[in-house]
């Protein structure tokens, strides 16, 4: 079997192309620029479109235009750039336009630094733009998943007419690992609602204004009915040795790999530790965490932030079990030793004696 | 929808009074000066423009000066019809 | 304008809906515009041109934020409502997706000349094939009469209650003049909706701008000085005079740019799925053929499951060395990860990467305590030597590192990598000499395995012999 050693960022762009995306609008920013560079190299040779926009605000609005026209379209940026895109993201949701947004997270707040971080959980999962909405948020932890989840993001975005986000970090974007690429998508979904500059679509309107409060309320109700359907079927996660786990580790993206390494070490010392890795941050695997709270005696969340996803874990566990937290931030990354120590500390006493 | 009166024989202007907002721009622009403001109010509460009934040369300027799409129709019959 | 039964009828254009079904409440045959407003006039001029050019069905009209926010109530074509100031960016996305479309970006002065200044400037500069109608009425109408970037000196607005003070708020911004300095736009004209002569000139300009797009000529803009009687707090006929007396002197009418005739048409092709193209493109990517089961059989225990740090200065090919080693292992069906230090750190100064090779899936690709350190220059040795695990292997470039490593609890291998590379005539293959020496010393992989991997993954056939020699000399440099 032929495989390739591929960088996460490259795997992601390739996944997008395999998913039928031929259109990229973006602005350079470390550590996501490589995605734009790959797009600039690949898309025009396929007859697609690459535009380096004047700013992030424009990039997301170009995405809005291409999505209005029914294209599978993407943009990629990194935390400060994503902040600038929030206006357009809210409009995309308001107009129910599918689009894929990549955030290769870096240290913040402010200009911060370019080291890997997970401080954008709130702005992507909880909404960083105005109004009531949700984004579908996928969190890869390997180059293989950078490809697979990019493809999935396009599929989900189109299926639900909502923007989907791939939320990753500098390490997952920069690391190389073996990737097996699936065949390219050969057929794209019909979009009867799009404006295609044809007689059939000349009556279509892409719009996010609803001046009448009743009308807007109804629109938001419909959006959230859609979100309820997504929550019911689209949550994805990976579990590692949770069957007998006294302590369940929760981490996403790059951190989950560090947690897995730590898990291997403490298991060899006899601690019954498992891990749940959310693959979708929204919808969040809350139901599964609730179930795990029946058997596990505690949880430990690790993030490259001061604690953002931990809030969702606590909401899911709902006070039934202690939820400990270990965070590093500003671009710092915990060592496996450090995580082992955090696990030792969080490990429930009753579990130790059992 | 404006209904064009096909029975018109000479150049003429038809004003939908209920779509007129009484701005008077058509009156200002009319070269022969054959439009005037009605003393009556229309259902919108404006004094609509009205055609005095003769000497319209169907130049069309009133149509272009009018901000409302449907308020004015200008008809210029062909020579044969005249 | 239409011909009906031999008569010429000037009436409601087909490109405007005849019942404004999207407009809420009653009065679906009249607009939401105030009496005497220029928007309605311009709408009619645009719609009439759309009718006459036969482009209604392929037109996509972008409604901005401003008084014309509800443009989609009226225009009988594809409609996209957009964020404040962003129409030229949205138009870029629409037009590039649909090159056969006619994209109309309809914008007010706040939209185009304040919040969206960068978007209009760059769309114009890229020569996006769209047509912009820029309504300049020197005030913010929709939000209730605040100052616009085009508000005149001394003009009272709700945010310049004592009149616009130039020293405080700058000068009225002349967008037509500004944009006409760019090379890409093909047509820019400023017109005014005042008397018969000017309205008919505006009509011609609207048609010309749309025709330019139909002909694939590129970016065009018509700036329209337009009365806002309510915003200016004056009667419509007075407002029209005010345009003449005050706006026109500040914003002179005229053609600022017209190179339509001399520009060649350029119509992009629409993006296509082109599945075969994708398959072909990616088939050219370097892949390795995985063979056999990964095994450490015959390899000393201390070299198995290595956590490798490779460091040097930028330009020494440190990252490449790591990826080649990772590919060699991958070909043998090992699980591998490669993680570089990235960003400014990787430019100019030191570069390093981490490679993990394992029989099992690799959890963490980070190597904070390496079992193997390959140091290609002095600073790299200084930085990473302390982190090497006791019992680890330290391979260093003895050409550039004169002070040997001080650690006594690790295995030290000196390789004159740069000297050997220089002998081969290419300093930059020192990295391959290092790789050969490391593999030769540990027996982890064979020279033949490296060569097969290079054949499968490296594109530059011309370099192959040199690369092979460098690896060979590396293998040969150790016992």
Query: Cα separations (Å) of C85 from A66, C115, C119?
Result: 17, 5, 7
CA distance C43 to chain B (A): 8
pLDDT of amino acid A42: 95
A172 pLDDT above the threshold of 90 = yes
Q: Kindly report the backbone phi and psi dihedral angles of residue A179, in degrees, each rounded to the nearest multiple of 5, phi listed first.
A: -130, 135
pLDDT of amino acid A353: 56
B1 pLDDT above the threshold of 50 = no
Arithmetic mean of pLDDT, C407-427: 96
B12-75 fold: Alpha-Beta Plaits (3.30.70)
Contact C153, C262 (CB under 8 A): no
Contact list, C457 vs chain A (CB under 8 Å): 5
Distance between CA atoms of C287 and C289, rounded to whole angstroms?
7
Contact C466, C436 (CB under 8 A): no
Domain borders along chain C are: 2-258, 301-477
Distance between CA atoms of C133 and C209, rounded to whole angstroms?
9
Sequence-ordered strand ranges (E) for chain B: 12-15, 35-37, 49-51, 72-76
pLDDT of amino acid C284: 82
> Helix (H, G, I), strand (E, B), or coil: what is residue A307?
coil
Arithmetic mean of pLDDT, C5-31: 92
CA distance B1 to chain C (A): 6
Q: Does C238 touch chain B (CB under 8 A)?
A: no
A108-112, A235-239, C233-237, C458-462: segment of lowest average pLDDT: C458-462
The correct CATH number of C2-258 out of 3.40.50.970, 3.40.50.300, 1.20.58.340, 3.40.470.10 is 3.40.50.970
Domain borders along chain B are: 12-75
C382 pLDDT above the threshold of 50 = yes
> Helix (H, G, I), strand (E, B), or coil: what is residue A265?
helix
Distance between CA atoms of B74 and B60, rounded to whole angstroms?
6
C347 pLDDT above the threshold of 60 = no
CA distance C273 to chain B (A): 42
- Neighbours, chain C (3 or more CB pairs < 8 A): A, B
Nearest residue in C to A54, CA atom: C122
Count of residues making up chain A: 354
Domains C2-258 and C301-477 share a fold: no
Partners of A179 in beta bridges:
A4
Contact list, B46 vs chain C (CB under 8 Å): 35
How confident is residue C343, by pLDDT bands cut at 50, 70 and 90? low
Q: In the 8-state DSSP scheme, what is residue C303?
A: G
Q: Kindly report the backbone phi and psi dihedral angles of residue C220, in degrees, each rounded to the nearest multiple of 5, phi listed first.
A: -135, 155
Helix axes C430-442, C464-477, angle to 10 degrees: 40
B2 vs C35: CB contact, 8 Å cut-off? no
Average confidence score pLDDT of chain A? 96
Distance between CA atoms of A164 and C14, rounded to whole angstroms?
39
Pure H helices in chain A: 8-18, 33-42, 56-68, 79-94, 121, 143-160, 170-174, 213-233, 254-268, 286-295, 309-317, 336-346, 349-353
Distance between CA atoms of A251 and A277, rounded to whole angstroms?
5
Distance between CA atoms of C363 and A169, rounded to whole angstroms?
16
CA distance C18 to chain B (A): 6
- Neighbours, chain B (3 or more CB pairs < 8 A): C
Contact A275, A350 (CB under 8 A): no
Arithmetic mean of pLDDT, B37-64: 96
Query: What is the DSSP track for C222-243?
Result: EEEE---HHHHTS-HHHHHHHI
Q: Kindly report the backbone phi and psi dihedral angles of residue B62, in degrees, each rounded to the nearest multiple of 5, phi listed first.
A: -60, -40
Q: State pLDDT tens for residues C131-154.
A: 999 999 999 988 888 999 999 999
Burial C16-55 (b: 16+ CB within 10 A, else e): bbbebeebeeeeebbbbbbbbbbbbbbbbbbbbbbbebeb
Distance between CA atoms of C182 and C180, rounded to whole angstroms?
5
Nearest residue in A to C92, CA atom: A62
- All domains in chain A, ordered by first residue: 4-233 (3.40.50.970), 238-353 (3.40.50.920)
CA-based nearest residue to C79, from C127, C47, C37, C117: C47
How confident is residue C348, by pLDDT bands cut at 50, 70 and 90? low
Nearest to B76 among C8, C29, C200 (CB): C8
Arithmetic mean of pLDDT, A117-128: 96
Contact B73, B51 (CB under 8 A): no
pLDDT of amino acid A201: 98
B74 vs C18: CB contact, 8 Å cut-off? no
Contact list, A212 vs chain C (CB under 8 Å): 24
> Helix (H, G, I), strand (E, B), or coil: what is residue C353?
strand
Contact list, B64 vs chain C (CB under 8 Å): 41, 44-45, 199-200, 203
CA distance C214 to chain B (A): 24
Distance between CA atoms of A300 and A289, rounded to whole angstroms?
12
CA-based nearest residue to C104, from C136, C139, C138, C68: C68
Rg of chain C taking only CA atoms, in angstroms:
35
CATH architecture of C301-477: 3-Layer(aba) Sandwich (3.40)
Residue matched to tokens 């030792």: A344
C236 vs B24: CB contact, 8 Å cut-off? yes
A338 pLDDT above the threshold of 60 = yes
A150 pLDDT above the threshold of 60 = yes
A71 pLDDT above the threshold of 60 = yes
Nearest residue in C to A142, CA atom: C337
Rounded-to-5 percentages of helix, strand, coil across chain C:
40, 20, 40
How confident is residue C283, by pLDDT bands cut at 50, 70 and 90? confident
Contact list, C368 vs chain A (CB under 8 Å): 335-336
Burial class (CB in 10 A: 0-12, 13-18, 19+), C162: exposed
A205 vs C22: CB contact, 8 Å cut-off? yes
C459 pLDDT above the threshold of 90 = no
Q: What is the SS3 string spanning C36-99?
A: CCHHHHHHHHHHHHHHHHCCHHHEEEEECCCHHHHHHHHECCEEEECCCCCHHHHHHHHHHHCC
Burial class (CB in 10 A: 0-12, 13-18, 19+), C166: exposed
C271 vs A48: CB contact, 8 Å cut-off? yes
Q: State pLDDT tens for residues A300-321.
A: 999 999 999 999 999 999 999 9
CA distance B30 to chain C (A): 9
CA distance A32 to chain C (A): 11
Distance between CA atoms of A25 and A60, rounded to whole angstroms?
7
Q: Does B58 touch chain C (CB under 8 A)?
A: yes
> Helix (H, G, I), strand (E, B), or coil: what is residue A174?
helix
Distance between CA atoms of A314 and A304, rounded to whole angstroms?
17
Q: State pLDDT tens for residues C34-63.
A: 999 999 999 999 999 999 999 999 999 999
CA-based nearest residue to C143, from C105, C106, C110: C110
Residue matched to tokens 């090497």: C388
Nearest to A188 among C86, C122, C273 (CB): C273
Q: State pLDDT tens for residues C68-104.
A: 999 999 999 999 999 999 999 999 999 999 999 999 9
Contact C417, C430 (CB under 8 A): yes
Contact list, B2 vs chain C (CB under 8 Å): 11-12
Contact list, B77 vs chain C (CB under 8 Å): 6-7
Question: Taking CA C392 as the corner, what is the angle to CA C389 and CA C397, rounded to the nearest 5 degrees?
Answer: 115
Nearest residue in B to C42, CA atom: B67
Q: State pLDDT tens for residues A177-187.
A: 999 999 999 99
Q: State pLDDT tens for residues C268-281.
A: 888 889 999 999 99
Q: Which two tokens stand for residue C117?
A: 């200044």
How confident is residue C4, by pLDDT bands cut at 50, 70 and 90? low
Distance between CA atoms of C252 and C246, rounded to whole angstroms?
10
A58 vs C121: CB contact, 8 Å cut-off? no
CA distance B2 to chain C (A): 8
Count of residues making up chain C: 479
For chain B, positions 18-57, list CB contacts with chain C under 8 A.
19, 21-25, 28-29, 31, 44, 46
Q: Does B66 touch chain C (CB under 8 A)?
A: yes
A31 vs C342: CB contact, 8 Å cut-off? yes
How confident is residue C28, by pLDDT bands cut at 50, 70 and 90? very high
With touching defined as 3+ CB pairs under 8 A, do chains A and C touch?
A: yes
B70 vs C13: CB contact, 8 Å cut-off? no
Number of Cβ atoms within 10 Å of the Cβ of C378: 16
C316 pLDDT above the threshold of 70 = yes
- Neighbours, chain A (3 or more CB pairs < 8 A): C
Q: State pLDDT tens for residues A253-310.
A: 999 999 999 999 999 999 999 999 999 999 999 999 999 999 999 999 999 999 999 9
Residues contacting C479, CB < 8 A, separation 6+:
C441
How confident is residue A350, by pLDDT bands cut at 50, 70 and 90? confident
């Amino acid at each position: 079997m032929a495989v390739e050693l591929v960088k996460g960022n490259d795997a992601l762009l390739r996944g997008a192309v395999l998913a039928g995306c031929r259109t990229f609008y973006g602005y350079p920013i470390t550590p996501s620029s490589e995605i734009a560079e790959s797009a600039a190299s690949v898309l025009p040779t396929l007859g697609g479109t690459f535009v380096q926009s004047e700013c992030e605000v424009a990039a997301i609005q170009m995405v809005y235009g291409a999505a209005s026209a029914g294209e599978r379209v993407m943009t990629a940026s990194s935390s400060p750039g994503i902040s600038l895109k929030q206006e357009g993201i809210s409009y995309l949701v308001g107009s129910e336009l599918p689009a894929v947004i990549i955030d290769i997270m870096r240290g913040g707040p402010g200009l911060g630094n370019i080291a890997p971080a997970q401080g954008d959980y709130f702005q992507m999962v909880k909404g960083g733009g105005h109004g009531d909405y949700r984004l579908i948020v996928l969190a890869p932890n390997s180059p293989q998943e950078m490809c697979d989840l990019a493809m999935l993001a396009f599929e989900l975005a189109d299926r639900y007419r909502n923007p989907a986000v791939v939320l990753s970090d500098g390490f997952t974007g920069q690391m190389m690992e073996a990737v097996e690429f699936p065949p390219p998508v050969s057929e794209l979904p019909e979009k009867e609602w799009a404006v295609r500059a044809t007689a059939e679509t000349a009556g279509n309107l892409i719009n996010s204004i609803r001046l009448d409060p009743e009308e807007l309320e109804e629109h938001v109700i419909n959006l959230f009915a859609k979100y309820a359907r997504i929550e019911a079927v689209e949550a994805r996660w990976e579990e590692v040795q949770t069957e007998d786990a006294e302590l369940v580790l929760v981490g996403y993206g790059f951190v989950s790999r560090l947690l897995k390494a730590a898990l291997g070490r403490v298991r060899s010392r006899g601690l019954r530790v498992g891990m749940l890795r959310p693959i979708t941050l929204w919808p969040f695997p809350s139901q599964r965490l609730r179930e795990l709270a029946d058997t596990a005696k505690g949880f430990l969340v690790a993030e490259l932030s001061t604690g953002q996803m931990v809030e969702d874990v606590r909401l899911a566990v709902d006070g039934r079990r202690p939820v400990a937290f270990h965070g590093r931030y500003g671009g710092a990354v915990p060592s496996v030793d450090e995580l082992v120590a955090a696990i030792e500390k969080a490990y429930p006493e009753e579990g130790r004696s059992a | 929808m404006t209904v064009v009166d096909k029975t018109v024989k000479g150049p003429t202007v038809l004003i939908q009074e209920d779509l007129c907002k009484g701005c008077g721009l058509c009156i200002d622009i009319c070269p022969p000066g054959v439009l005037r403001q009605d003393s009556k109010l229309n259902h919108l509460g404006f004094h609509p423009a009205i055609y005095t009934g003769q000497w319209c040369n169907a130049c069309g300027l009133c149509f272009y000066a009018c901000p409302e799409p449907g308020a004015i129709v200008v008809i210029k019959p062909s020579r044969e019809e005249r | 304008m239409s011909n009906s039964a031999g008569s010429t009828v000037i009436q409601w254009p087909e490109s405007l809906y005849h019942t404004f079904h999207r407009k809420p409440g009653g009065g679906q045959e009249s607009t939401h515009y105030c009496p005497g407003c220029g928007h309605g006039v311009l709408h009619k001029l645009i719609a009439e041109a759309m009718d006459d050019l036969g482009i209604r069905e392929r037109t996509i009209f972008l409604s901005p934020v401003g008084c014309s926010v509800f443009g989609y109530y009226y225009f009988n074509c594809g409609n996209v409502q957009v964020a404040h100031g962003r129409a030229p960016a949205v138009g870029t996305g629409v037009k590039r997706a649909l090159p056969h479309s006619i994209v109309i970006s309809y914008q007010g002065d706040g939209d185009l000349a304040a919040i969206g200044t960068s978007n209009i400037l760059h769309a114009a500069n890229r020569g996006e094939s769209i047509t912009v109608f820029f309504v300049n009425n020197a005030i913010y109408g929709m939000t209730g009469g605040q100052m616009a970037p085009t508000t005149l000196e001394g003009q009272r607005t709700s945010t310049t209650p004592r009149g616009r003070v130039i020293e405080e708020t700058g000068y009225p911004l002349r967008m037509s003049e500004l944009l006409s300095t760019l090379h890409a736009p093909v047509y820019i004209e400023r017109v005014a909706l005042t008397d018969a002569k000017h309205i008919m000139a505006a009509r011609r300009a609207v048609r010309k701008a749309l025709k330019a797009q139909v002909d694939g000529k590129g970016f065009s803009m018509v700036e329209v000085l337009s009365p806002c009687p309510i915003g200016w707090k004056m009667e419509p006929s007075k407002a029209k005079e005010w345009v003449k007396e005050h706006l026109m002197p500040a914003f002179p009418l005229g053609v600022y740019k017209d190179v339509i005739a001399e520009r060649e048409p350029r119509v992009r092709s629409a993006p296509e799925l082109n599945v075969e193209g994708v398959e072909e493109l990616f088939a050219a990517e370097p892949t390795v053929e995985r063979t056999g089961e990964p095994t450490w059989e015959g390899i000393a225990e201390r070299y198995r499951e290595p956590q490798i740090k490779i460091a040097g200065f930028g330009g020494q090919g440190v990252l490449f060395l790591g990826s080649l080693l990772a590919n060699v292992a991958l070909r043998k069906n090992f699980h591998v990860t490669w993680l570089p230090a990235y960003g400014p750190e990787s430019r100019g100064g030191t570069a390093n990467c981490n490679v993990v090779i394992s029989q099992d899936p690799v959890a963490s690709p980070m190597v904070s305590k390496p079992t193997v350190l390959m140091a290609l220059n002095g600073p790299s040795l200084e930085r990473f030597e302390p982190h090497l695990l006791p019992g680890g292997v330290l391979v260093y470039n003895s050409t550039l590192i004169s002070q040997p490593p001080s650690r006594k609890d690790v295995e030290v291998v000196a390789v004159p990598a740069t000297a050997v590379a220089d002998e081969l005539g290419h300093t930059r293959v020192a990295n391959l000499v290092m790789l050969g020496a490391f593999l030769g010393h540990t027996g982890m992989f064979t020279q033949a395995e490296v060569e097969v991997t290079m054949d499968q993954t490296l594109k530059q056939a011309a370099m192959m012999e040199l690369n092979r020699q460098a690896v060979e000399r590396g293998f040969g440099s150790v016992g």
